Amino acid sequence: MSAPTRLLFLRHAEVETAYHRVFGGRIDMGISDLGRSQAEALAGFLHRKFSIDAIYASPMRRVWLTLEPLLARVQVEPRVVDGLREVDFGHWTGLGWDAVRQRYGARAFEWLDHLENGTMAGAEPASAFRARVQGAVEHILGEAQGRTVAVACHGGVIRMALAALLDLPLSKMRHLEIDYASLTWVDCHDHKREVQLHNLVPWRDL
């Protein structure tokens, strides 16, 4: 039996304070001072526990700032995959959770349902988002077969990647937390997907 392709999904660290409890999406923000500490803890854990063969990353700034401590430890040149960019929240972009509830009658935790149902005004259609992320994951699986791969991206992208890999609706992913600077590990075999670890947060859990 051939070795699985090990996907280590990494969410970026905590964003700048101005974007807390905000639908940031395509806004190209940085990370907070706490986020830098989170990124350091994540990098240390990954370096101790895994031999990373390849790194694929969203082009967005908060992802690359999170990767800096890991790139200082490993001799791996990261590859940019535009398909790993965060979802476009449309008219919700830049709005805080309370503002979205006041304007659109939507609670923050319901965003996956609104995206899937097409009731998030101006947003990237869920079908396009799924096709984009699934295409990115398939590209990585094809290029890095049998290796251990870090996939650095965003909470929404990780949820969609899991939905695609596990053949589930995106809205079901609301039951899964994806914290800042967290690790979710999926082994991809030829005929099955195995979630080995979900939402490990080294800066909090270890």
- pLDDT, one tens digit per residue, over 63-90 is 999 999 999 999 999 999 999 999 999 9
Record the tokens describing residue 119, joined without a space.
Answer: 């009731």
Please say whether the beta carbons of 156 and 86 come within 8 A: yes
Q: What is the mean pLDDT of residues 49-70?
A: 98
Question: Which pLDDT tens digit goes with each residue over 99-148?
Answer: 999 999 999 999 999 999 999 999 999 999 999 999 999 999 999 999 99
Q: What is the mean pLDDT of the chain?
A: 97
Cross-strand bridge partners of residue 31: 15
End-to-end Cα, the chain, rounded Å: 33
Portion of the chain with pLDDT greater than 70, in percent: 100
Residue closest to 143 by CA, chosen among 52, 56, 47: 56
Type of residue at 34: L
Please count the other Cβ atoms lying within 10 Å of the Cβ belonging to residue 22.
21
Threshold 0.95, pTM exceeds? yes
Per-residue pLDDT for 1 more than 80?
no
Per-residue pLDDT for 14 more than 80?
yes
Record the tokens describing residue 156, joined without a space.
Answer: 């929404």
Question: Which pLDDT tens digit goes with each residue over 20-39?
Answer: 999 999 999 999 999 999 99
